[in-house]
Amino acid sequence: MANVIKTINENTTFTAYFQCMRLHRNLVFATIDSLQLIFDKEKQADKVLKNTLKRDKRWGSRDRSFIAETTYDIVRWKRLYAEIAEVKEPFDRPNLFRMFVVWATLRGIKLPDWPQFEGTPTRKIKGRFDELSKIRRIRESIPDWLDELGKKELGDRWDKEIRSLNELADVVLRVNTLKTSVKEVQEILSEENIETETIKGYPSALRLIERANVFTTKAFKDGWFEVQDASSQKVAQFLDPKPGMRIVDACAGAGGKSLHIGTLMENKGQVVAMDIYESKLIELKRRARRNGIHNIETRLIDSTKAIKKLINKADKVLIDAPCTGLGVLRRNPDTKWKIQPDFLSEITNKQKDLLDSYSRMVKPGGDLVYATCSILPSENEQQIKDFLTRDAGKEFKLVKEDIVSPHDSGFDGFYMALLKRNNETHE
């Protein structure tokens, strides 16, 4: 239980600040408004907050941080707080204020004399917290089905992993070595009072010592770095791209890994970045221009022809597959409330189809990397085992795999498998 309250307290960067400051009505109300959209309208937390934080230009960085951190915290601990507050979904505004009271009371924050806080049993909160923290699914604030699934797939590891996934994610940067160096980015950010540290084993990574808005810095606008978790940075390194190669990023999205691949290729060769969403590819083009990367070509997958044109043509193919996203709950805590039990079977079938289809783009003797940001073996090791037994996978052999544990690494949970295709050609 001590670990739980420690995790909860550490998750809010400005707790000490707000313990000695009074709560401001407009900030609390903005938080409640955001929670109502996330919980009751099922909107994505990051998009809701992006809009909320534009509401009042007078808000400073501390104000915005309070809204963002508090909203994410209550989303992260929704089940625990709701149980303590004795409220049930769908949450009306009085329910959300009761949950806010739980959040504030567990941090020792003094509540103002507002009508919204009348009748809240603050004295009972600590006692209910101690009692409910004995039950893992409530203590870690997850749905029953997810707790059962995690235990089934990970066994005793599940306790450590889910506890780790409830911690606040570090802000990690990936330095664009086409334009600058890690040391130079450290120095220029330090001039703006943003202190960073290098991370052993991650040659292009910098971790922020304290959270800050790096997107407003000149270094970011000039394309000197991207925000990318350390585990995510491992994927392009695992693929091991070389200048002059033709590499396909088959599920590129907005292109964080495509950009890293292009950087490692030193702008020589070709990165074919593919996705089913044109809006994401448009964003990737914008990011590539800012990064000064010229060897990325985007292609929309709007029919099977897009894949057929590249059969046997790629030196390396990356399938950064859609998944449950359980490895990135630290930064996307609303995911655990949005996904449903039947989603796992849907997504594993999708992963199977992608492996069978996209693996055909690897030319004889080439490499295939399959990656997910999940920690479930059914999406990872088992997918690869099954693929190697099917006709589509019989031309491949598993070279190596990397299972990145959130608990052990301190970063997002990821899985990567490197497969080598044999030298025989089959159209």
pLDDT in tens, 142-154: 999 999 999 999 9
Report the alpha-carbon distance of residue 399 to residue 47 in Å, rounded.
39
State the pLDDT at residue 3. Answer: 54
Report the alpha-carbon distance of residue 14 to residue 11 in Å, rounded.
9
Contact of 338 with 396, CB cutoff 8 Å:
no
251 in catalytic set = no
State the average pLDDT over residues 335-364: 97
Residue 227: is its pLDDT beyond 80? yes
Report the alpha-carbon distance of residue 279 to residue 422 in Å, rounded.
36
Report the alpha-carbon distance of residue 326 to residue 419 in Å, rounded.
24
CATH of 231-421, one of 3.40.50.300, 3.30.43.10, 3.40.50.150, 3.40.50.2020: 3.40.50.150
State the pLDDT at residue 394. Answer: 96
Residue 64: is its pLDDT beyond 90? yes
State the average pLDDT over residues 365-376: 98
CATH number of 172-227: 3.30.70.1170
Where residue 20 falls among pLDDT bands split at 50, 70, 90? Answer: low
State the pLDDT at residue 119. Answer: 77
- Choose the catalytic residue: 20, 251, 323, 373: 373
Tokens of 157: 């590891």
Total length of the chain:
427
Where residue 8 falls among pLDDT bands split at 50, 70, 90? Answer: low
For domain 2-141, give the fold. N-utilizing Substance Protein B Homolog; Chain A (1.10.940)
State the pLDDT at residue 12. Answer: 44
Tokens of 192: 């703006």
pLDDT digits (tens, 9 = 90+) for 239-277: 999 999 999 999 999 999 999 999 999 999 999 999 999
State the pLDDT at residue 7. Answer: 57
State the average pLDDT over residues 331-360: 97
Domain ranges of the chain: 2-141, 172-227, 231-421
State the pLDDT at residue 10. Answer: 52
Where residue 123 falls among pLDDT bands split at 50, 70, 90? Answer: confident
The answer to which of 20-29, 78-87, 292-301, 364-373 has the lowest mean pLDDT is 20-29
pLDDT digits (tens, 9 = 90+) for 160-214: 999 999 999 999 999 999 999 999 999 999 999 999 999 999 999 999 999 999 9
pLDDT digits (tens, 9 = 90+) for 376-418: 999 999 999 999 999 999 999 999 999 999 999 999 999 999 9
Q: How many other CB atoms sit within 10 Å of the CB of residue 47?
A: 11
Domains 2-141 and 231-421 in one fold: no
State the pLDDT at residue 118. Answer: 87
What DSSP designation does 173 have?
E
Q: Is 185 left (phi over 0), alpha (psi -120 to 50) or beta?
A: alpha
pTM greater than 0.85: yes
Where residue 13 falls among pLDDT bands split at 50, 70, 90? Answer: very low
Mean of all residue pLDDT scores within the chain:
94
**What are the distances in angstroms from CA 248 to CA 3, 373, 407?**
43, 19, 31
State the pLDDT at residue 403. Answer: 98
Where residue 121 falls among pLDDT bands split at 50, 70, 90? Answer: confident
